[in-house]
Amino acid sequence: MNRPFSNAIDGHSSLRGHNARYTVVYFLKGLHCFLLTALVLAPLWLSSVAAMRQDRITKLRDETVGMFYHGFDNYMRVAFPEDELRPVSCIPLTRDPQNSRNFELNDVLGNYSLTLIDSLSTLAILASAPSDSRRTGPKALADFQLGVAALVEQYGDGRRGPSGQGIRGRGFDVDSKVQVFETVIRGVGGLLSAHLFAIGELPIAGYDPGSTDDVESHPIAWTNGLHYDGQLLRLALDLAQRLLPAFYTATGLPYPRVNLRHGIPFYVNSPLHRDVGDGGAKVQGPPEITETCSAGAGSLVLEFTALSRLTGDQRFEQAAKRAFWAVWERRSNIGLIGAGVDAEKGQWIGSYAGIGAGADSFFEYAFKTHILLSGREFPNQTLPLRQSTSEWLDPNDIYTPLTAEENSSDMFLRAWQDAHAAIKRHLYTRTQHPHYVNANIATGSPQAYWIDSLGAYYSGLLTLAGELDEAIETHLLYTALWTRFAALPERWSIRDNTVEGGLGWWPGRPEFIESTYYLYRATKDPWYLYVGEMVLRDISQNCWTECGWSGLQDVRTGEKSDRMESFFLGETTKYMYLLFDEEHPLNCLDAGFVFTTEGHPLIIPQKYAAKSRGPDTQQGADPAQFGSVSVNDGICPLSPQPTSLSGSSIASRPDIYHAAKLIGLHNTPNHHAAAPRNPEKRPVHGETIKVGHQAMPVLNHTVFPWTLPQTLLPCDGICAKPPMPHTLLIEFPSTTQQNVGSAFNYMFGNQGLSRMGQDGLLVQNMPGLKMTLLEENTSHGEAKDRYWRVVNVGGVNLGRDEKVFVSRETIGDLSDPLFSKVREAALVDVIVQVNDTPPPVNTNIGNVTDMYGEGIYQVLVGEDGVPFDVLSGEDGETGATTEYKSLFSSLLRAIRDPNPTGDVEDDGISTTSSKTVQGKQQANKRNRFRYLATLGITPIGAGSGPLPDVAEAPSMATLQVDDKDAKEVNKPLAWASIYVAGEACDNKLPDEAARDHQLIIIRRGGCSFSEKLANIPAYTPGAQSLQIVIVVSDDYEVDPETGAGRVIMPGGVRPLLDQIQRTPSGITRRTPISMLLVHGGDEVYNLLAHAASVGTFSGASTGMNSSGSRPTAPRSGSRQILSQVLSVAATNRAPGSAPGSYIPESLERSKQTASSTNRHLEGISHRRGR
C-alpha cells in the first residue's frame, strides 16, 4: 500500500511538485550540450504533442460554465426560494406535505432554498476562472455574493435580534422532517464551505477579504452592499443545532430523520425524552422507521468537525465521531460493514456488504477525516460544555467521552486501511475485469453481482489514498458503462449484462466525473480529459431543457425525469469545471483541504487548530487494534508512464478492452457516429461514413470513451487475454435411496447443509451434492502459487475464508472405493532420475508410448512450473481407465493437477501434443534431469524385510521447478550406485555388487525370488553398500490354454518370499535385504540400468472396496497417475481378440531377446558422484 496523497490531491501543489521535471543543464561544449538537452526534454515534448490542445480544454471549460449557468439562472428565475427546480415542467419542486412517506422528496427538501446553498461553493470556484471575454470570474464572484445576500434576506443572519429574522423565518425554523445525513452534507456543508470562501480561507483568485481574525468585529464589505460578518457560519450553526436531537440514541447511531422545528417526538424510545424531561408526543399511525445506513450515520464527521472548530462548540464533532465509531465497531469479524443498521437496536438490517449505496461515503469519510485532522489536534476539551436542557442539547453527556485515540487523525487512517483490506479480500474480483461484488457481511460469500452508479466514487477515493493501480482499473469499467448508455444506470448487473431490476435512472450523479477528476490530477493522463469531454457532450445532448438540466428516468430509452437535483450544480458541474481548469487555485493549494461527499471543499484554518504536540507525543491508533493490515511505506506512487508515443498510459493498457467486453460495448451500436445522409440507408457491418473530411466508424464502441481520438491509441497495441475464471463443477453420484431429483433440491433447498457459525458449511449428505471450485493465484501470481478454492456447495456461495466440513461418517456411506483410501506400505512410488538428454530412440513424445518405452508415466516440468503428463497404455477397458472414470479420481486430478494447456480426452486423461512437450523440454535446459515414476510392490512372506530408512524422494507433484528451484531438483535421490545383475539365478554375484553398490537391478524369471536374493553375497551394511533390490517383471504371461498373452496389472499380486533370507553359504541374514517388484519388462530394466539415481516415495495408496478386496488398479501417490506398464505394443493385438489380450510375436523370440538383453547388461554398474 502506498502513502496517502492527502494534501497531494486535495492540496494539489504537492502533486505538481511530484510530477515536475527538473533539468540541470551544465555548460558543456558543442554537441554534448545539445544532446543532453534534447534527451531530457524529449519526454516533455512527446507528452505535450499527445495531450489535448489548450484551446480545446478552454472550450470545454467554457461549455461547463455555460452548463452551470443554464441550470443556476433558471433555478433563481423560476424556483428560488424553493428547494429545487422541475426543468421539464419549468416550475419549482417542493416537499410533498400530503405524503409524509415520500422519502425521495421529503428527506432532501427542507424548505430552505437547498439548490442555492448547494451551489454557492461552485460559484466561488467559478469566481477564479481565467480572464475571458465573458468575464466569467467577476460574474461568478458577484453571483456568489448576491446568493449569500439572498439567503440572509430569506433566513436572517443567524443572530437572536431583529437581524436574525428573515422573510421565510428565523434561521431554519421550519416544520420540515428531513433526513439528517442529507441535511448535513447539503445544508450544513454548503453553508460552511461558502463561509470559508467568504473569509478567504479557501482561495478565490483576485478576492482579498483582508484580515479575518475577527470577522464579526471587522466585517468584509462587498460591492453588493452586504457586510459579511459570518452570517453563513451562524446559519450553519442554527441548522446543525436543529439536528442534535437525532443523536439521542442508546447506540450512538443517530436517528435517520428529525423535524427542524419539533425535534424527534416521533422516536418515542429516545433517551432525549427521559433525560431532558420531554416525554414526547403520542404518535398516531405506524411507528417511525429507525433504520439508518452506514453512510448516513458515519458520514457526518467532516462537516461537524469543521463546524466545531470554526465555532468552538465541540458538541457536533464529538457526536459525529461517536456515530462513526458506532458504525465501525459493528463491523463483522472479517472487517465488512453492512448498508442498513437499526439506530435503536444497533443491529444490521440486511446481510449485504458493498462499496456502493448505503455504505459508500463511510469509507470516504474514514480517509478524508484523516486528511482534515492531520496537524489539527483536538482541543483539550472532551467533556460537555454544560448540562443539557430543552434550550441547550448536548447528546454527548449521555455517553462516555471519546478517547484521545478516537479523536486522532491516525485512528481514522487505520480504520480506512482495515476497511480497504477487507474490501480487497472479500468484495474485489478480477473475473473478466476488476470490479466489486456485494457479499454477505459475516462470511464474505458473494450475494449479488451488480454495481451501482454511487460506487463510481470509489476509484477517486483510492486515488486519494494512493492506491492508484486499483483506482485506474476499476474506473475503466464505469467509463465503459457510461460509453454504452451516455450515463450510468442506477444498477448494472455484471452477471446478466443488463440493467439490474429496472433501476435504470441517472439523476445527474457526480461520482463518475469526481473520480475522473481525481485520476487526472494524479496521473495527468489526457485520456481522462477525453472522458470528461464525453460526459459533458452526453449531458448536453440528453439532459438539456429550456429551464435547466434534467436527469434521465431510463438510460436505455433516454426518457427525462422532471427534476434537477441540487447536487448537479453543487457537484457534477463543479468537478467537471475543475477537471478543465488546470491552474485553478484549488488545484494548486498545498493544504489539507477535502471535498465532502457533496463536493463542498472544507478546511480547518490553522488559527482554529490547537497547538500540535509534535510527532514524538502525538497519539495514534494501535496497529494491532484492527488486526494485521498493510501499512503505508511512506512513498506516493508514481504516475503510470506512457508505453508508446501516443502519450497516454491508459489508452495503451493491455487490459483496457476487458472492461469494454464485460460491459458488452463490442455488441453495442455507436450512437455517437454521425447518421448517413440517406435515412433509409443504414450502414452495414464494417462500413464507414464521411463527415466532412473525416471517416467515422459506425460499428460499435470498440474505442472508449467515444471522444477519444485515434492519435491517442498505440499503433501496435495488443490486448491481453481477458482473465476468465477457471472453474470445476463436481456432482457426487446419487445413491439408490435418493430418488428425489435436483429440481426438488433447487426448490426447497439442500437439506444436507448446515452452517457452522461463521466458519463455513457442514456437509451432512454427499449423494447428489454439487460442488464448484475456482482456480486462483496467490498475490504473487506465479504458476506454482495456483490453488483451488471451493466457492459453492449445493447452491450456497462460500466466502474466501469459509471452510467446508465433512464428517467421516458422511464419507463412509459412499460406494466409490477411492473415498476409503488408506495408506498402505505394500505400494510405493519408485522415482527414477534420468539424464535430461534422451537416448536417440523413439523421440515421438506425443504418442502414449514414451521415449524410454511403453508404460512409463513421466512428468515433463514446464517453464511455468506446471507438469505435462504423458500416460502410456491403451484406450481399452484396463483397470487404470476404469479408475479415471471414477468420480472422485477425476476430482483429485482436476484439483491437484489442473494442467490448463492439456487436452482432456473422453476418459479424463490429460495428454499433450508432441510440439508442446518438446517446446517445454527446450525451455528447461537449465535442469539436468528429468523424473519418471512407476509403482513398486513390497513382498510378503517369511523372507520379506522393511524398506530401508532413507530420505524419501520428492513426490512427482513437488517436482515442479523454476529457476530458483533448479538446484534443489538436481540433487541426487537416495541410491546413486547401481549394479545390473540379470536374472541372478545361476551363480553368486561378485562381492563388489553388494559391497560397493546401493541398488541391484534383477530380472524376474529363471528361479524364485528367494533364490535370487540367496545369490547376493554377504556384506557389511552401510550407507554405500546394498540398500535394496529391485526386481523387474515382464508385463505378460502366456495363457496355457489359448496361448494368448495376458496383461499383468501392477498391484494385483505381491511377490512371495517363502523362505527366510540366507547368504550364498546358507547362513541366515541378520538384516534381510529389502526388495521391490516393478513391472515394465525390458524398457524399465534398461531405464533403471542407465538411471542417474533412484529413490522411493511412500505416498502411494490403494483403495478397499465394499467387499474388502483390493481394486485392480490402485492410484499411486498424492498426485501421480498409476502407470500401466505394458511391454507389448498395441499394434500386436490379435484380430478379434478381446481388449487387454495380446498375442506376442513369438514367445521363444521374446525369451531370446530378453536373454540377449540380460547378457548385454549383466554385470554393469555405475555410480553417480556425490
Whether residue 933 is contained in a domain is answered as yes
pLDDT above 70 coverage of the chain, percent: 68
749 and 830 inside one domain: no
Whether residue 135 is contained in a domain is answered as yes
Give the DSSP letter of residue 703.
Answer: S
**Residue 847 pLDDT greater than 60, yes or no:** no
Asked if residues 578 and 601 have their Cβ atoms less than 8 Å apart, the reply is: no
Q: Are residues 128 and 207 in the same domain?
A: yes
> pLDDT tens across 869-902, in order?
333 333 333 333 333 334 444 444 443 344 433 3
More confident residue, 586 or 894: 586
Say whether pLDDT at 126 is over 60.
Answer: yes
pLDDT at 673: 59
8 A C-beta contact, residue 1142 and residue 1044: yes
Mean pLDDT of 988-995: 93
For the chain, give the mean pLDDT.
Answer: 77
- From CA 1143, how far away is CA 1039, in angstroms rounded? 10
At 884 the pLDDT is: 35
Q: Which is more confidently placed, 862 or 780?
A: 780
Judge if 1031 and 1133 occupy the same domain: yes
For the stretch 1111-1156, pLDDT in tens is 333 333 332 322 322 222 222 333 333 333 222 333 333 333 344 4
pLDDT score at 154 = 97
Q: What is the mean pLDDT of residues 568-593?
A: 96
Asked if the model's pLDDT at residue 588 lies above 70, the reply is yes
Residue 211 sits in the same domain as residue 177: yes
Q: What gap in Å lies between CA 426 and CA 796, rounded to an integer?
A: 16
Percentages helix, strand, coil for the chain (3-state, rounded to 5) are: 35, 15, 50
Q: What are phi and psi of 297, to 5 degrees?
A: -85, -35
Residue with the bigger pLDDT between 971 and 110: it is 110
Tell me the catalytic residues.
182, 360, 490, 511
- Average pLDDT, stretch 593-605? 97
Q: Is 597 annotated as a binding residue?
A: yes
The stretch 856-877 carries a mean pLDDT of 33
**Is 868 a member of any domain?**
no
**What SS3 state is found at 500?**
helix
994 and 1096 part of one domain: yes
338-347: per-residue pLDDT in tens? 999 999 999 9
Please tell me which of 175-179, 372-376, 664-668 the model is most confident about, judged by mean pLDDT.
175-179
pLDDT digits (tens, 9 = 90+) for 928-967: 678 888 889 999 999 998 888 888 888 776 665 444 455 5
Across the strands, what pairs with 551? 561
Looking at residue 892, what is its pLDDT?
A: 40
Do 1043 and 1126 fall within a single domain?
yes
Q: What is the dihedral of CA 830, 836, 842, 848, to 10 degrees?
A: 50
- Window from 47-61, 676-690, 1011-1025 with minimum mean pLDDT: 676-690
* Three-state SS letters, 1149-1166: HHHHHHHHHHHHHCCCEE
pLDDT at 809: 77
* 799 and 828, same domain (yes or no): no
Angle at 1151 between CA 1146 and CA 1153, to 5 degrees: 95
Check whether 1036 has a pLDDT greater than 90. Answer: no
Residue 129 falls within a domain, yes or no? yes
Q: Which of 247-256, 718-727, 808-817 has the lowest mean pLDDT?
A: 808-817
Output the pLDDT for position 377.
75
List the Cα angle 841/844/849 in 5-degree steps.
85
Residue 183 — very low, low, confident or very high, per pLDDT cuts 50/70/90? very high
Range of 111-125, 215-229, 675-689, 976-990 with top mean pLDDT: 111-125
Structural domain for 150, as ranges: 112-242
Single out the residue of 642, 660, 661, 658 nearest to residue 650, CA to CA: 642
Indicate the helix (H) or strand (E) that contains 340: strand 340-342
User: Which residue's C-alpha cell is 432554498?
Assistant: 113
Residues 937 and 808 in one domain: no
Provide the pLDDT for residue 710. 85
Q: Alpha-carbon Rg of the chain, whole angstroms?
A: 39
Shared domain for 805 and 787, answered yes or no, is yes
Domain boundary (242, 273, 294) is at 242
- Tell me which of 203, 218, 242 is where a domain ends: 242
Q: How confident is the model at residue 741 (pLDDT cuts 50, 70, 90)?
A: very low
For residue 862, is pLDDT > 50?
A: no
Given a cut of 50, is residue 148 above it in pLDDT?
A: yes
Q: Given a cut of 50, is residue 816 above it in pLDDT? A: yes
pLDDT at 68 over 50: yes
Per-residue HEC secondary structure of 706-735 comes to: CCCCHHHCCCCCCCCCCCCCCEEEEECCCC
Q: Is residue 313 part of a domain?
A: no
- How many structural domains is the chain composed of? 3
On the question of pLDDT at 1009 being above 70, the answer is yes
Place of cell 515382464: 1034
Is the pLDDT confidence value at 627 over 60?
no
DSSP symbols for 526-560: HHHHHHHHHHHHHHHHHSEETTEE-EEEETTTTEE
More confident residue, 1164 or 985: 985
Within-domain flag for 932: yes
User: How many CA within 13 A on the CB side of residue 244?
Assistant: 27
pLDDT surpassing 80 at residue 1163? no
Among candidate residues 242, 269, 301, the one where a domain is terminated: 242
Q: How far apart are CA 943 and CA 1072, in angstroms?
A: 7
**Whether residues 944 and 1043 fall in one domain:** yes
Q: State the pairing for strand pair 446-448/438-440.
A: antiparallel
- Portion of the chain with pLDDT greater than 90, in percent: 51
pLDDT at 1127: 26
Residue tagged 443554464 (cell numbers): 70
Give the model confidence (pLDDT) of 264-306 as tens digits. 999 999 999 875 555 455 556 678 999 999 999 999 999 999 9
- Mark whether 1140 and 1072 lie in a shared domain: yes
pLDDT score, position 827: 84
Q: How are beta strands 340-342 and 348-349 bridged, if at all?
A: antiparallel
Residue 737 confidence class, pLDDT cut points 50, 70, 90: low
- At residue 616, the pLDDT reads 35
Cα→Cα distances 97→177, 706, 734, Å: 10, 44, 62
| Sole residue written with cell 427542507 | 110
The answer to whether the beta carbons of residues 919 and 913 sit under 8 Å apart is: no
* Range in 158-167, 222-231, 706-715, 817-826 with the lowest mean pLDDT: 817-826
Residue 1117 lies in a domain: yes
Q: Give residue 1052's pLDDT band: very low, low, confident or very high (50, 70, 90).
A: low
Residue 828 shares a structural domain with residue 779: no
Q: Residue 45: its pLDDT value, please?
A: 41
CA separation for the pair 450, 436 (Å, rounded): 8
**For 496-541, how does the pLDDT look when each residue is reduced to its tens digit (9 = 90+)?**
999 999 999 999 999 999 999 999 999 999 999 999 999 999 999 9
1096 lies in some domain? yes
pLDDT at residue 860 in the model: 32
